[in-house]
């Protein structure tokens, strides 16, 4: 029957060939640093392997420097943290350094703060340090801190990333303490992962906060303390942006749900790789 249909169609016009293939491919963006935390610019595909749900993947379909041309930055400020004049100044310096960088157009920088149960957009799409300076909170807010809920709504408010050349980054100024959220810490991390947002956290205190560590590590970001200085934070965000790699590989295991991933060295154990904690493989994709 099929043959007859083809034979009938042939004399009049040549049908356009349509090739269909069912391929489950995983795409991972990551950055690599050496033992001194310096980005590695000449990484080779045999320098690392991916552990995808326990399966070790060494054969990649593609390996390229990530050709990001756009950096979408959203800055989220927890006003219940210590908003001392020094803290305020550092926030402005980070924003200033990032906004003066080539590749970060004005419309891609948004700033929001939250205090108590209210989140406030300081500027959206027209952010410069000079614009933000007037609206940054002056005083420390006391009371409730719905950090996890705010992170979820901030992640959901970022438009879906349809441009493969755009990288979405959140810079969170917070001490990592939550007092009232309806959602759990894991929900906040899951929401940021689902929206493919890389989180850099900057805490005012000296101690390490477990949630901030977990958040940054899960999303492929980094943890900083305010005492390390604005330039170090901005430098890290930009060096990760410029020295990222992208790999694709065939899905190694057709199990639905969350696939945790890790990137580990194949030769030099001093290499460190940062990437998101994993991805979701939906049901029914074969």
Partner 1 sequence: MKRIFTLMLLCCRCSTLALADPGAPQEAVIVRMRLVVCPGPQHSFMMALSGSARVGPQDPCPEYTLLTEKIAYIVIGRASNQLVPLAETTKFRFQNREMLIRAGDSNHESHFMIKEMLLRSEWERVQQRNDAEARVISLREQETDSERNTK
Q: Are 95 and 268 in contact (CB under 8 A)?
A: no
Locate tokens 């041309």: which residue? 69
At closest approach, how far in Å is the CB of 65 from partner 1?
A: 22
Q: Per rule CB under 8 A, is residue 285 in the interface with partner 1?
A: yes
Stretch that binds partner 1, among 89-97, 102-110, 120-128, 248-256 (CB under 8 A): 248-256
Chain-centroid distance of CA 150 in Å reads 17
Stretch that binds partner 1, among 8-16, 44-52, 94-102, 212-220 (CB under 8 A): 44-52
C-alpha Rg value of the chain to the nearest Å: 22
Q: Per rule CB under 8 A, is residue 268 in the interface with partner 1?
A: yes
CA–CA distances in Å: residue 133 to residues 48, 91, 93, 140:
44, 9, 10, 16
Q: Per rule CB under 8 A, is residue 269 in the interface with partner 1?
A: yes
Contacts of 282 by beta carbon, 8 Å cutoff, 6+ apart = 256
How many residues sit close enough to partner 1 to count as binding (CB under 8 A)?
A: 22
Q: How far is 235 from 98, CA to CA, in rounded Å?
A: 9
Q: Are 129 and 123 in contact (CB under 8 A)?
A: no
- One of 176, 253, 259, 278 touching partner 1 (CB under 8 A): 253
Name the residue nearer to partner 1 (CB basis): 165 or 256: 256
Q: Per rule CB under 8 A, is residue 56 in the interface with partner 1?
A: yes
Query: Can you give the binding site for partner 1, defined by CB under 8 A?
Result: 46, 48-49, 51, 54-56, 58, 253-256, 264-269, 283-286
């Amino acid at each position: 029957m099929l043959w007859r249909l083809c034979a009938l169609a042939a004399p009049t016009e040549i049908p356009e060939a349509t090739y269909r293939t069912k391929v489950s491919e995983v795409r991972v963006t990551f950055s690599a640093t050496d033992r001194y935390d310096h980005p590695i610019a000449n990484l080779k595909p045999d320098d690392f392997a991916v552990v995808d749900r326990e399966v070790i993947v060494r054969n990649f379909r593609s390996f390229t420097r990530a050709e990001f041309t756009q950096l979408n930055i959203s800055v989220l400020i927890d006003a219940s943290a210590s908003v001392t004049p020094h803290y305020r100044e550092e926030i402005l310096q980070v924003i200033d350094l990032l906004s003066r960088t080539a590749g970060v157009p004005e419309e891609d920088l948004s700033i929001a703060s939250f205090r108590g149960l209210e989140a406030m957009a300081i500027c959206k799409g027209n952010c410069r340090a000079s614009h933000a300076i007037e609206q940054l909170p002056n005083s420390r807010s006391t009371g409730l801190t719905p950090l996890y809920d705010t992170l979820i709504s901030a992640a959901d408010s970022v438009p879906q990333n349809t441009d493969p050349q755009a990288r979405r980054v959140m810079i969170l100024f917070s001490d990592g303490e939550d007092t009232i959220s309806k959602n759990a810490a894991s929900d906040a991390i899951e929401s940021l992962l689902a929206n493919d947002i890389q989180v850099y956290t900057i805490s005012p205190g000296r101690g390490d906060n477990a949630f901030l560590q977990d958040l940054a590590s899960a999303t492929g970001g980094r943890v900083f303390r305010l005492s390390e200085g604005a330039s170090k934070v901005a430098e890290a965000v930009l060096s990760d942006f410029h020295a990222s790699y992208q790999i694709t590989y065939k899905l190694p295991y057709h199990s639905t749900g969350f696939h945790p991933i890790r990137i580990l060295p194949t030769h030099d154990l001093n290499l460190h790789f940062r990437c998101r904690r994993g991805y979701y493989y939906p049901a029914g994709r074969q």
